[in-house]
Amino acid sequence: MSADSRRLDRERQTVAAMIRLYCNHQHGRSRQLCVECAALWDYVQLRLERCVFQKNKPTCAKCPVHCYQPARRTQIQAVMRYAGPRMLWRHPVLAIRHVLDETKKAKRKT
């Protein structure tokens, strides 16, 4: 597995952990995501798969291209606002790597 694919896999893991944490605490779902959060997760995976930056993908907060639909963007912002501060306690490695990934600049794939 290349470093490039590991970066996208880590992005998927981080967002999945954030959505699970949010759904668990906000919707009381511990084993499976609720319908709303599962639909958001499906949407996030599609957006990551189709990202124009691919291996050079910055974190969404640093991305110059806002590819999410407005309603989905509001939804993921709520998830990240809630789960972000809690990630350091629940998933410290993912949280620290995410912060380090925020230092990367966006470059379109070639």
pLDDT in tens, 20-78: 999 999 988 778 999 999 999 999 999 999 988 887 888 877 788 888 999 999 999 99
Is 107 within a domain?
Answer: no
When pLDDT is cut at 50, 70 and 90, the band that residue 2 belongs to is low
The pTM (predicted TM-score) of the whole model is: 0.84
Provide the domain count of the chain. Answer: 1
Is 37 within a domain?
Answer: yes
| 70-90 helix and 92-101 helix, angle to the nearest 10 degrees | 130
Is 109 within a domain?
Answer: no
Is 57 within a domain?
Answer: yes
Is 106 within a domain?
Answer: no
Is 62 within a domain?
Answer: yes
Q: Residue 89 pLDDT more than 80?
A: yes
